[in-house]
C-alpha cells in the first residue's frame, strides 16, 4: 500500500480522478449505445413537439434521457462525471421550471448552459474515441455516432442562444415563432448545415452567424474524414 505523505492517506483515496469502475450504475448504463439511443429518441420526439401544448415539457422530458446517459457514458473519471452531471442539472432544472411556470428567463438560461453541456460532452467522447480507444468495437462505432450528433446539437443550442441576443440573426422558416418552437428549427438547420445539404429555407442574417455556419459545415466534413481514418487505422493496427 502506497501513501501520500502530504495527507497520510492511501494514494488511491487522494487521487480524485480515478475511474469509478466500481459504480454499478456506470457498469450497467455507462455505455455509448445507451447515449446513442437517448440522442436518437430526442431527435425523433422533437418534431412532434412543434406547436403543441406543453411542447417545452415534452422537449425536456426527452432530453432527460440524454442528461442521464451522457454523464454515465463519460464516467471514466469522477471529475468528468460530476462536471457533466452539474451541467445536465443546470440545463434540465431551469428548462422544466420554464415549462411549468412559463418563466422565459429560465428557458433562456437553460439554452445558454445547453451549449456548454453538449460541447463538453462531445469533447469528452471524442477524446476517448481519438486518444484512448485501441480497437474497433461496437462501442467505438456508437461513440463515433454520438460525437457527430452531439456536435449538431451543440451548434443548434448555440444558434438558439445567439437568437436570444439578436432576434434577426436568422431569417426564414421558424423565425417568426416562439423560441421553444424555433429550437426545433435550429436543430433542423444545424444538421442540414453539418451534413452540407443547405436547403436555404433558413439563412444566417449576420456575418458572425454566417461564419459559424460554414465552420460547422467544415467541422462536419473534417470529422467524417478524420474518424474514418482513425477507425481504419485502429482496425489495421489490431489485425496487423
CB atoms within 10 A of CB 48: 12
pTM assigned to the model: 0.86
Q: Which residue has the higher pLDDT, 214 or 49?
A: 214
Average pLDDT, the chain: 84
- C-alpha closest to that of 130 among 117, 118, 143: 143
Rounded distance between C-alpha atoms, residue 118 and residue 76, angstroms? 17
Question: What values do phi and psi take at 222, rounded to 5?
Answer: -65, -40
Collect all residues with Cβ–Cβ distance below 8 Å to 235 and sequence separation of at least 6. 136
SS3 at position 2: coil
Q: Around 54, how many Cα atoms within 13 Å sit in the side-chain half-sphere?
A: 4
Cβ pair 61, 100 in contact under 8 A? no
Cβ pair 96, 69 in contact under 8 A? no
- Cα torsion at 114, 116, 117, 119 (round to 10°)? 120
25-49 pLDDT, tens digit per residue, is 877 778 899 999 999 999 998 888 7
Is residue 129 pLDDT above 90, yes or no? Answer: no
Domains identified in the chain, total number: 1
Q: 37 lies in which domain range?
A: 3-239
Report residue 178's pLDDT band, with 50, 70 and 90 as the boundaries: low
Amino acid at each position: 500500500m502506497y501513501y501520500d505523505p502530504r495527507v497520510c492517506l492511501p494514494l488511491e483515496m487522494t487521487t480524485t480522478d480515478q475511474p469509478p469502475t466500481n459504480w454499478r450504475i456506470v457498469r450497467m448504463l455507462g455505455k455509448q449505445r445507451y447515449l446513442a439511443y437517448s440522442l436518437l429518441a430526442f431527435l425523433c420526439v422533437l418534431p412532434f413537439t412543434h406547436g403543441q401544448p406543453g411542447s417545452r415539457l415534452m422537449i425536456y422530458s426527452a432530453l432527460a434521457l440524454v442528461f442521464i446517459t451522457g454523464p454515465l457514458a463519460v464516467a471514466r473519471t469522477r471529475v468528468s462525471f460530476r462536471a457533466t452531471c452539474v451541467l445536465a442539472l443546470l440545463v434540465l432544472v431551469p428548462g422544466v421550471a420554464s415549462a411549468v411556470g412559463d418563466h422565459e428567463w429560465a428557458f433562456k438560461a437553460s439554452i445558454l448552459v445547453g451549449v456548454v453541456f453538449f460541447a463538453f460532452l462531445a469533447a469528452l467522447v471524442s477524446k476517448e474515441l481519438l486518444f484512448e480507444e485501441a480497437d474497433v468495437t461496437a462501442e467505438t462505432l456508437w461513440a463515433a455516432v454520438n460525437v457527430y450528433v452531439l456536435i449538431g446539437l451543440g451548434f443548434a443550442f448555440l444558434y438558439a442562444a445567439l437568437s436570444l441576443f439578436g432576434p434577426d440573426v436568422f431569417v426564414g422558416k421558424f423565425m417568426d415563432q416562439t423560441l421553444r418552437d424555433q429550437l426545433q428549427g435550429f436543430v433542423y438547420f444545424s444538421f442540414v448545415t453539418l451534413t452540407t445539404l443547405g436547403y436555404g429555407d433558413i439563412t444566417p442574417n449576420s456575418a458572425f452567424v454566417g461564419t459559424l455556419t460554414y465552420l460547422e459545415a467544415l467541422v462536419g466534413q473534417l470529422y467524417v474524414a478524420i474518424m474514418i481514418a482513425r477507425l481504419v487505422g485502429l482496425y489495421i493496427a489490431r489485425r496487423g
